[in-house]
């Protein structure tokens, strides 16, 4: 297990870990209430009933603290455990596709506050957030790639199968990030995603990549 240290490189004791956790909790609440661009170090420190100087003992800036908030989601996403119980696609492809969509949407709802910031900062070109977003999506990518490459008619792992899995991953992430489960068209969105995944994965309908 990696030892947590201050920004100056010193090990953090039990009291410091409690303060650090309180700062992260305060940051999460402020991100939910005010959004990323309105959240400042001084606001986080005030919510945690400490000082900006104390904040800087543990984090270089707000982005560094957000990255720490995002690490559990990234670990959960990269482990891919939310897809482990979905089961076989063969003979039950539509059910497996539906379970996949539901798992992605549930994961996004659970981590929505921090994942919105990750998406925003990645879109703004911050490589740290691009990398952690890749980790968040890696479990889903692996799950879909495995399903595509192990279907009965599959030639195995190819550039086309990887591209298909990557495209579905991007689509599902975008849909989850912009999806409001309370809207009237929510069932329609889910249905179309399920049908598309079923078509690509179970039927083996993959458009070959264009050749140079």
How far is 194 from 185, CA to CA, in rounded Å? Answer: 14
Domains annotated on the chain, with CATH:
14-60 (1.10.10.60), 66-201 (1.10.357)
How far is 113 from 104, CA to CA, in rounded Å? Answer: 15
> What percent of the chain is predicted at pLDDT more than 90?
65
| Residues pairing with 11 in the sheet | 5
Longest dimension (CA), the chain: 61
What's the pLDDT tens digit per position in 97-128? Answer: 999 999 999 999 999 999 999 999 999 999 99
CB-based contacts of 181: which residues, under 8 Å, 6+ apart? 105, 109
How far is 99 from 73, CA to CA, in rounded Å? Answer: 19
> Which string of b and e fits 98-113 if b means at least 16 CB within 10 Å?
bbbbebbbebbeebeb
Query: Would the CA dihedral through 155, 160, 172, 138 be positive or negative?
Result: positive
- The interaxial angle of helices 112-123 and 159-177, nearest 10 deg, is 120
pLDDT tens for the chain, residues 1 to 212: 567 888 988 999 999 999 999 999 999 999 999 999 999 999 999 999 999 999 999 999 999 999 999 999 999 999 988 887 666 676 678 888 999 999 999 999 999 999 999 999 999 999 999 999 999 999 999 999 988 888 776 666 677 888 889 999 999 999 998 866 666 568 889 999 999 999 888 765 555 555 55
How far is 10 from 172, CA to CA, in rounded Å? Answer: 41
pLDDT at residue 184, rounded to an integer: 54
Helices (H), the chain: 14-34, 41-47, 52-58, 62-79, 93-110, 112-123, 127-149, 159-177, 186-201
């Amino acid at each position: 297990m990696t030892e947590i240290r201050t920004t100056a490189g010193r090990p953090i004791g039990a009291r410091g870990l409690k303060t650090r956790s309180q700062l992260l909790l305060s940051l999460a609440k402020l991100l939910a209430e005010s959004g990323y661009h309105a959240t400042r170090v001084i606001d986080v420190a005030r919510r945690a009933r400490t000082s900006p100087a104390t904040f800087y003992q543990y984090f270089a800036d707000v982005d560094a603290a957000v990255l720490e908030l995002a690490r559990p989601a990234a670990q959960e996403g990269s482990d891919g455990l939310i897809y482990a119980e979905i089961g076989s696609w063969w003979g039950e492809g539509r059910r497996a596709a539906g379970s996949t969509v539901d798992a992605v949407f549930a994961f996004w709802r659970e981590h929505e506050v921090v994942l919105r910031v990750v998406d925003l900062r990645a879109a703004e070109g911050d490589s740290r957030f691009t990398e952690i977003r890749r980790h968040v999506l890696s479990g889903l990518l692996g799950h879909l790639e495995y399903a595509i490459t192990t279907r009965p008619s599959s030639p195995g792992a190819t550039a086309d199968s990887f591209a298909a899995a990557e495209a579905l991953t991007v689509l599902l992430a975008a849909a989850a990030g912009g999806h409001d489960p309370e809207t009237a068209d929510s069932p329609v969105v889910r249905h179309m995603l399920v049908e598309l995944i079923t078509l690509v994965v179970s039927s083996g309908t993959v458009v070959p990549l264009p050749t140079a």
